[in-house]
Amino acid sequence: YRFASLLGMTERKQADITAAREITAEFAKISPDDPVKYDFALTRLGIRRDEDRAELLAKLGIRSPAGKAGSR
């Protein structure tokens, strides 16, 4: 949910079923035949160390809200 939110895949303020549906709809734009194809990869990013997440976001040019780039 956190990375999908940072990537603009959902504007929901909480990780709920509506957010999951919004994120799946965004994935369907990338992979219509398998919209959950990238779900594991995105989830894995949330598991990584804080420094890794901050570095990835910086490389993608995404500014995260203060204190939230690598926070759990």
pLDDT score for 16:
96
Distance between CA 37 and CA 66 in Å, rounded? Answer: 30
Q: Would you list the domain boundaries of the chain? A: 2-60
pLDDT score for 72:
40
Residue 37 identity:
K
Is this structure's pTM higher than 0.95? no
Backbone angles phi, psi at 22, to 5 degrees: -65, -45
| Mean pLDDT value across the chain | 81
Percent of the chain whose pLDDT exceeds 90: 36
Reply yes or no on whether the pLDDT at 38 is more than 60: yes
